[in-house]
């Protein structure tokens, strides 16, 4: 029998204690997200102080995300087995300790090691908090709203990270940005045992260490290879890393099929709701993340804004995201998720189409508006999709389901940047014509990327530099147009597919539905009407 302690009871409505507990869970989510993006501001300062090489700077930036992606599946399953609250508190203590080590790192190697520890600790946050939310909020309407609140904090760190980082760096040394998380984690350690319920599945067995090793050996090379391809283009080593990760991933899947207590329960994918929601989440992360990168680069390279100014101009998009996340659960009480998600994605398509109208010389308002509209439309997919992924899993697999959801997002974001980065780079090079009078070496550098064009323009005489910038701005804007147009077409296909696949799911306000059954709209994920025939036959 599952060991579960919760104040709501089975199927009960959450009270003040649960909502206060949600606030405690939102803090680490915000801080883990901030920690990803605050480094954008801190790297120039710490690199100068620690004398970090270019390779060391890349590892300082990337190792955190690598470790989070690699350990999500392991931590999700581990939390299900040893206790979700227990693992979250252990992760919080480790995160606080690693933050102090990073803040006072004496050299690049020590900072890379501390960032790796931060990533492992941060991997406990998303799966454990999502699983705990599913325990605390048994009522489907409350659960979807709670997930929306949590997502606002989790996604909000992407925008406020650079702003917080810039403000801290103006007053303190670079290590101060790492200390942001210490008070929040201390608060979680103090209040977590009081406000958060514990849950573990004592029948889950011991974690299979071979599966843990295989999962890391599959995920880490793929994430590394995809990020390197996005940064440097198709090269032998990153391509080999991706191929090796895929081969090891196949071995991991075969092992999970044979184990009585697998690290990753592949039966979760038999649920049509689970698969459709996960696929939609992967697609919107892949498409939206890639377009966001182009938007942030356009703000800096074409509009000429500083990173801090660019972050501030992205705040309307963050506000639209918050509105979408919080409004979607309320609307889903009366509207079927399929229709709500489909309509929202059509709004995102409209935002993407508006980005194709951005002008290279006066497109700031159109750019920010298009970004905000696309984010607003993504709200139902992200909020209700997360709820469907977690809610359609058995209660003893909620942590594992949350981990799969977050791992999918990591892969989608990295793959989207790699694929659309290649498309955008090809369009940029095709549209860039070297102005007459520009030396060939400088022209070739400018033709490779907009960042290279800005660097070249600074070293050329004024008329030539201005000509290079003008051509680069037009070419990069064309690349943005192409990426946004392709994303709009693909989002339209996703909207239609998700609306069809999820049409059986009832509104969360439907009488008589609770827990996983309310999320799926059927008796449960094991119900024959819910299962995908192809997945069952496999």
Query: CB of 465 within 8 A of CB of 439?
Result: no
Query: CB of 129 within 8 A of CB of 188?
Result: no
By CB atoms closer than 10 A (0-12, 13-18, 19+), residue 33 is buried
Give the residue among 534, 538, 537 at the shortest CA–CA distance from 272: 534
Query: CB of 379 within 8 A of CB of 328?
Result: yes
Give the separation between CA 13 and CA 110, rounded to whole angstroms. 47
Q: Report CA-CA distances (Å) from 448 to 195, 339, 416, 424, 456.
A: 54, 43, 20, 11, 11
Q: Which residues contact 47 (CB under 8 A, 6 or more apart)?
A: 56, 57
Give the separation between CA 509 and CA 390, rounded to whole angstroms. 18
Angle between helices 398-431 and 462-501 (to 10 degrees): 140
CA atoms within 13 Å, Cβ hemisphere of 152: 19
Query: CB of 52 within 8 A of CB of 46?
Result: yes
Give the separation between CA 292 and CA 290, rounded to whole angstroms. 5
pLDDT in tens, 73-115: 888 888 888 888 999 999 999 999 999 999 999 999 999 999 9
Query: CB of 380 within 8 A of CB of 341?
Result: yes
Query: CB of 277 within 8 A of CB of 389?
Result: yes
Query: CB of 399 within 8 A of CB of 83?
Result: no
Q: Which residues contact 129 (CB under 8 A, 6 or more apart)?
A: 25, 28, 29, 88, 150, 402
Give the separation between CA 102 and CA 110, rounded to whole angstroms. 7
**Per-residue DSSP letter, 514:** -
By CB atoms closer than 10 A (0-12, 13-18, 19+), residue 462 is exposed
What stretch of H or E contains 3?
strand 3-5
Is the four-CA dihedral 147, 149, 154, 159 of positive or negative sign? Answer: positive
Ranges of H-type helices in 83-107: 84-103
Interior/surface letters 246-271, b for 16+ CB within 10 angstroms, e for the rest: eebbeebeebbeeeebbbbbebbbbb
pLDDT given at position 375: 92
Give the separation between CA 490 and CA 385, rounded to whole angstroms. 18
Is the four-CA dihedral 153, 156, 157, 161 of positive or negative sign? Answer: negative
Beta-ladder partners of 377: none
CA angle 140–145–148, rounded 5-degree value: 130
Q: What is the full per-residue pLDDT of the chain (538 aa) written as tens digits?
A: 344 444 343 446 878 888 988 988 887 778 777 766 677 667 777 877 888 876 787 788 778 878 888 888 888 888 888 888 999 999 999 999 999 999 999 999 999 999 999 989 988 888 888 888 888 888 888 888 888 888 888 777 766 776 777 777 778 888 888 887 788 888 889 998 988 988 877 766 677 788 889 988 988 888 888 877 777 777 888 889 999 999 999 999 999 888 888 888 888 888 888 888 889 988 988 888 889 888 988 888 888 887 778 878 888 988 898 899 999 999 988 889 999 999 999 999 999 999 999 988 877 889 999 999 999 999 999 989 888 888 777 777 778 888 888 888 878 887 888 788 888 888 998 999 888 888 888 888 888 888 888 888 888 888 888 888 899 999 999 999 999 999 999 999 999 999 898 888 888 655 444 444 444 433 333 333 333 333 322 2
């Amino acid at each position: 029998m599952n060991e579960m302690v919760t104040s709501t009871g089975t199927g009960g409505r959450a009270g003040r204690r649960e909502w206060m507990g949600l606030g405690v869970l939102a803090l680490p989510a915000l801080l883990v997200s901030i920690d990803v993006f605050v480094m954008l501001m801190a790297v120039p300062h710490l690199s100068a102080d620690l004398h970090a090489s270019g390779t060391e700077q890349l590892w300082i930036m990337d190792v955190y995300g690598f470790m989070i992606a690699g350990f999500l599946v392991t931590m999700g399953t581990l939390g299900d087995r040893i206790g979700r609250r227990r693992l979250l508190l252990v992760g919080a203590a480790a995160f606080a300790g690693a933050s102090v080590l990073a803040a006072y790192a004496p050299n690049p190697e020590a900072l890379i090691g501390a960032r790796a520890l931060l990533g492992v600790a941060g991997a406990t946050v998303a799966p454990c908090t999502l699983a705990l939310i599913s325990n605390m909020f048994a009522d489907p309407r409350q659960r979807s709203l709670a997930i929306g609140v949590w997502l606002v904090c989790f996604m909000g760190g992407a925008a406020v990270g650079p702003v917080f980082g810039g403000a801290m760096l103006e007053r303190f040394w670079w290590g101060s940005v790492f200390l942001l998380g210490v008070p929040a984690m201390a608060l979680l350690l103090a209040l977590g045992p009081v406000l958060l319920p514990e849950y573990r599945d004592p029948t889950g067995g011991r974690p299979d260490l071979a599966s843990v090793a295989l999962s890391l050996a599959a995920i880490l090379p793929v994430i590394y290879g995809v990020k390197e391809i996005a940064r440097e283009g198709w090269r032998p080593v990153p391509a080999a890393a991706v191929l090796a990760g895929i081969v090891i991933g196949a071995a991991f899947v075969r092992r999970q099929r044979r184990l009585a207590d697998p690290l990753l329960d592949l039966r979760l994918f038999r649920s049509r709701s689970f698969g459709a929601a996960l696929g939609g989440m992967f697609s919107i992360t892949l498409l939206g993340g890639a377009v966001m990168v182009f938007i942030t680069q356009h703000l800096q390279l074409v509009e000429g804004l500083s990173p801090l100014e660019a972050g501030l101009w992205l705040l309307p998009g963050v506000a639209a995201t918050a509105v979408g996340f919080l409004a979607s659960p309320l609307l889903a009480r009366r509207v079927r998720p399929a229709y709500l998600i489909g309509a929202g994605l059509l709004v995102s398509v409209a935002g993407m189409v508006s980005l194709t109208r951005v002008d290279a010389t006066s497109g700031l308002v159109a750019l920010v508006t298009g970004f905000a509209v696309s984010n607003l439309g993504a709200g139902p997919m992200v909020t209700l999709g997360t709820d469907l992924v977690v809610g359609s899993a058995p209660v003893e697999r909620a942590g594992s389901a949350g981990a799969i959801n977050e791992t999918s997002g990591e892969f989608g974001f990295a793959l989207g940047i790699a694929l659309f980065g290649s498309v955008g780079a090809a369009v940029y090079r095709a549209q860039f014509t070297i102005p007459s009078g520009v030396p060939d070496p400088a022209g070739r550098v400018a033709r490779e990327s907009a960042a290279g064009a800005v660097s070249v323009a600074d070293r050329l005489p004024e008329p030539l530099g201005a000509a290079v910038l003008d051509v680069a701005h037009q070419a990069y804007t064309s690349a943005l147009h192409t990426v946004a147009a392709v994303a709009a077409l693909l989002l339209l296909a996703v909207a239609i597919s998700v609306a069809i696949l999820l049409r059986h799911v009832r509104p969360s306000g439907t009488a008589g539905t609770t827990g996983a059954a309310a999320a799926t709209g059927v008796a449960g994920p094991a119900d024959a009407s819910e299962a995908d025939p192809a997945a069952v036959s496999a």
